[in-house]
A and B are shown apart, each in its own frame.
Chain A
């Protein structure tokens, strides 16, 4: 099912390649459940390029994080492959003037959801995985013990199950047909709503339990395409000094407040923070709440319109009710 899409992607990229300096895409990783980013520079590398529901990584961060992918030849553009969610990160980066729209060539791929390998392994048990493929609404994995079939719903990433924007919001070329969103934006905050129904004490208990597992390895921050302060993050600066090296829960709370509040009204819910977390803390949920707030208070959805200004970087003098 995805062989055709991969073929089409390779052909489309090949056609555009002479005008491009580098194309950022995905290639096979260390096992069939994993893909890894690849930087295509010439036609010889094209056979590496892949598209499948295992292409989980959001590649837009590579355009801004040092050493960022830059065109050696300024007359050429950088090509980048994006899913629906990834394209919204691109929009956010364009809004904040980290990249210019006319310097990138976007290969947009409508996406039916990506596979969370940890959910697969949990349903397993799998040993010696030989192949993995998605067919319609099933994931079929072959391992040393034969074939295993999983319902796609059971192995998709959490962000994909609540995806309202599976189609890239910006693209120069679209690979494949647009797909129908699973939910409308207004209905995509079910998990946040379930949290809101709990008592204050229960919510505090939930976050204490979850965030207590945090290692403060900061992988969530470093994987985030919009955490653009990079090596100058206030979580690590000695002056001002926001955090100590202690490993208690309050330090962890404050770190996640720093991460989340700096993304308020900017986060595009691509879920990279949650995916990168080795402890599987649902850290994207924190940002989902902030997005729900900005949606309700300011009718703003991040990463949709390259011309829009994120709500906390502007104001409306006449607004009342705040």
Chain B
């Protein structure tokens, strides 16, 4: 991503990292795909076994190093494959959401939600809304020089 200035910011591809629970949202995204719902292409999905595995630091690191957005999605509360993983996650992610702006990171770049495997349409809406929001915010400059180093090394 060389950041060519000829393309308007909103048209550029954005880097959104999606952490999706294997048992629901990952399936939900699959359902959306099978049903051929049109989805934005900015999302890079990382499958996690449960949102209970979602270390808030995964999101923090992504945003510090210049990911434009982080989306976490898991099973609806009380519907966790492992009974309670998402209930732990809910507290952790809510704390992170409140904490990010204190350190100067825009909390709108981080979103967590619940989508089940059958909710293909809901998934389409969630991912479309979030990526629209990220496009409005524009690229995330990240924190420091490293994000640039990684960019340079990556090219």
Binary A-proximity of B83-114 (CB < 8 A = 1, otherwise 0): 01001101110111011011111100000000
Q: Contacts A254-B64, A315-B84, A315-B87: A195 and B95 contacting too (C-beta < 8 A)? A: no
Contact A289 B102 (CB under 8 A): yes
Contacts of A315 in B (CB 8 A): 84, 87-88, 90-91
> Once A and B bind, how many residue pairs between them come within 8 Å at the CB atom?
107
CB distance from B107 to the nearest CB of A (A): 9
Main secondary structure of the interface of B (DSSP, over half): helix
Contacts of A252 in B (CB 8 A): 144
Contact B104 A204 (CB under 8 A): yes
A29 is an interface residue with CB less than 8 A from chain B? no
Q: Which of A196, A264, A314, A317 contacts B77 (CB 8 A)?
A: A317
CB distance from B144 to the nearest CB of A (A): 3
Contact B95 A294 (CB under 8 A): yes
A301 is an interface residue with CB less than 8 A from chain B? no
A229 is an interface residue with CB less than 8 A from chain B? no
CB distance from A255 to the nearest CB of B (A): 10
The contact size tier of chain B is 20 to 34
Bound together, the chains give a CA A258 to CA B64 distance in angstroms of 12
Contacts of A298 in B (CB 8 A): 91
CB distance from B27 to the nearest CB of A (A): 23
Contacts of A311 in B (CB 8 A): 91
B40 is an interface residue with CB less than 8 A from chain A? no
Contact A200 B146 (CB under 8 A): no
A286 is an interface residue with CB less than 8 A from chain B? yes
CB distance from A28 to the nearest CB of B (A): 39
Q: Which of A206-252 contact B (CB under 8 A)?
A: 206-208, 212, 242, 244, 246, 248-252
Contact A200 B64 (CB under 8 A): no
Contacts of A164 in B (CB 8 A): none
Contact B104 A206 (CB under 8 A): yes
CB distance from B104 to the nearest CB of A (A): 3
B147 is an interface residue with CB less than 8 A from chain A? yes
CB distance from A203 to the nearest CB of B (A): 4
CB distance from B58 to the nearest CB of A (A): 10
Contacts of B57 in A (CB 8 A): 242, 254, 257-258, 261
From A204, A253, A264, residue with most partner B Cβ within 10 Å: A253
Measured CB to CB, the residues of B under 8 A from A are 56-57, 60-61, 64-65, 77-78, 84, 87-88, 90-92, 94-96, 98-99, 101-106, 142-147, 149
4 additional contacts (CB under 8 A) given A207-B103, A261-B99: A250-B64, A253-B64, A260-B99, A286-B103
- CB-defined A-B contacts under 8 Å, sample of 25: A200-B106, A202-B104, A203-B104, A204-B103, A204-B143, A207-B104, A248-B149, A250-B64, A250-B143, A250-B147, A251-B144, A253-B64, A253-B143, A253-B144, A257-B61, A258-B57, A261-B57, A264-B92, A286-B102, A293-B95, A293-B99, A297-B95, A314-B88, A317-B78, A317-B84
Closest A-B pairs by Cβ, 8 of them: A204-B104, A249-B144, A315-B87, A250-B144, A250-B143, A203-B104, A248-B146, A250-B146
